[in-house]
A and B are shown apart, each in its own frame.
Chain A
Amino acid sequence: MKNAQRPTPNATPAGPMPITVEDVSFTYPSGTHALRGVSLRIAPGEAMAIVGENGAGKTTLVKHLNGLLKPSQGRVLVGDWDTREHSVAKTAARVGYVFQNPDDQIVERTVGDEVGFGPKQLGRTEAERAADVAAALALVELSDYAKTHPYDLTTAQRKLVTLASVLAMRTPILIFDEPTMGQDARGLALIGGIVERLKGEGRTVLTITHDIDFCAAHFGRVVVMADGQVLADGAAADVLARAELLATTNVEPPQLVRLAQALRLPRAALTVDGFVETLQGSRGAGGQG
């Protein structure tokens, strides 16, 4: 990566910050029951993906973690804070959220101002803000666009701008809603690299994704949702191999898992290297297929 030597803006030192979702239900004002009794514990430093069919309640759930939505029943704790007792602005210092639709998030007229918006809300000095913005834009490889109007960028680029906005806030917890939507191979690699870097720094990274191959490549824990509930929750290698269960919520295992299962290999690997190793193991090195 071009900016490999750049450090990620450091997380605000705030101590370990688990997330606890206790029996949360949520009903939209129009009457839709979008969450029905969801319970989860997310430890500091975990990398967790949420998958599931359209309308399962994924976005509704993560909007509870940064306080944008408050539970109709149950409670959400971020560290020792109950989200109902703190403003969204305060919770945002702990939890950064990248919206599914970048146009719901972007408010400023230049990319630089947009990325600097969060740090400004957090009361950082101008010098600090400038450093945060520069570091975050470098990470998403948009340093040349600081003065550009966000609407002169493509949707894929605007998504990267919103990602930078959240990186610039240096929160201990980051949530990405469909980060790879509309990205090409380079964008995928860029976002994957950012996720790996955040994991390396011990931050909590949550993502919602329909890209199961991306999920398999970067997230150790997977939560499967359907109809406002958690269907399964566990290690990616186990959960993503449960084809029948996944199908009930319109999800398929990753490509390599489907291939390993079709070949009846002893193990379903999540990476190309892992797949080749399994193949080697089952045939003996140098064996002919």
Chain B
Amino acid sequence: MTEKDVVIIGAGPAGLACATRLKEIGVNDVLLIEREKKLGGILNQCIHDGFGLHKFKETLTGPEYIERYLQKLINYKVEVLSDTMVVNLFPDKSMILSGPWGREKIKAKAVVLAMGCRERTAGAIWLAGSRPAGVYTAGVAQRLMNIDNYMIGNEVVILGSGDVGLIMARRLTLEGARVLMVLEKLPYSSGLPRNISQCLNDYDIPLYLKTTVTRIHGKARIEGVTYVSLDDEGKPIPGSERFIRCDTLLLSVGLIPENELSREAGVAIHPVTGGPIVNDTYQTNIEGVFAAGNVLHVHDLADWASMEGELVADFAKRYLEGSLPQTQNWIEVKAGEGIRYVLPQRISGKIDVNLLFRVSFPARNKHIVIKDKDRIIKRKRVINPHPAIMENIEVKRDELKGVQSLEVMIE
């Protein structure tokens, strides 16, 4: 059985960055596995720009962003298996690969999970009504249009204001479809503010907050939807039902880290992030299994996913060398008042750590406070905290001396 030092599963922004970084720091026995023929993951279908501002200090389209890494990949001669799916992953870090070339079991000393995420579906949000054609998740629509060259409909309602949905509102409009409205059940959009302005406002596409679809109409192809206003508790307001004709419904109702393989291997999953529970070395509960990118938690920007991949490369190397920080007393990191989640979920206290978190609600002029019981360790002002924007606070190793537990909260 082939054995590799590091196997990276998934060649999106996180996996690509991790693979190239490993080579840069001298880890050579690396295998990068991708189920698609082309490397790059979801960015291949993201033909709009806005990628790379943080990583490359310029704005690129998805494919351009990927191109940067592909160049490096070639230069560094990274071993790549594309068109290959990891179908099973076992706790001993062996795995079964399958592709047109055949099917085989291999083993790794360290595994980096970088499988990205998938979209929530109509079933997952309990969408009621009939089941006609023409109900697409936004990402599938994007792929069918941008890669496979199919037009998916003409009169479109978009449910959910996630970023992919917003991008598709603009894309469909530019392709001659009429995007009638975007409906969001929350009192605020779950997409980035810049996408609201560039993809909806610039094209006069209305966004209705506290509104949702309660029924899909049509037997063969969708013929319309019933939508309602929601009260402060998120319950439909009686009498507010309205009908709108459409031949397409796009769903942009959230992304779920894709951890079927991780689960099978016994990786513990966090109920809020949907990704593995990791420590400050991005290691999961299984020794030598690391996670980076959207498989860990859904990022707002590809740049962040790549940076996470690079970070994990460093830790994977140290794992191979046996020099990762060791401890018996992990410090648990808790998401307190007003915080949806914090990552990593446990830290050793022996290295600097960059805490990543999301707030639960939009607000103005708040402070983020990090506490050990009642002792304040750090405080940071945030002007416009928003659930769509990932925040971070760096905590130095010195600041963690004697710390028993950590709680991040908003004030």
A in complex with B: no
Interface residues of A (CB under 8 A from B): none
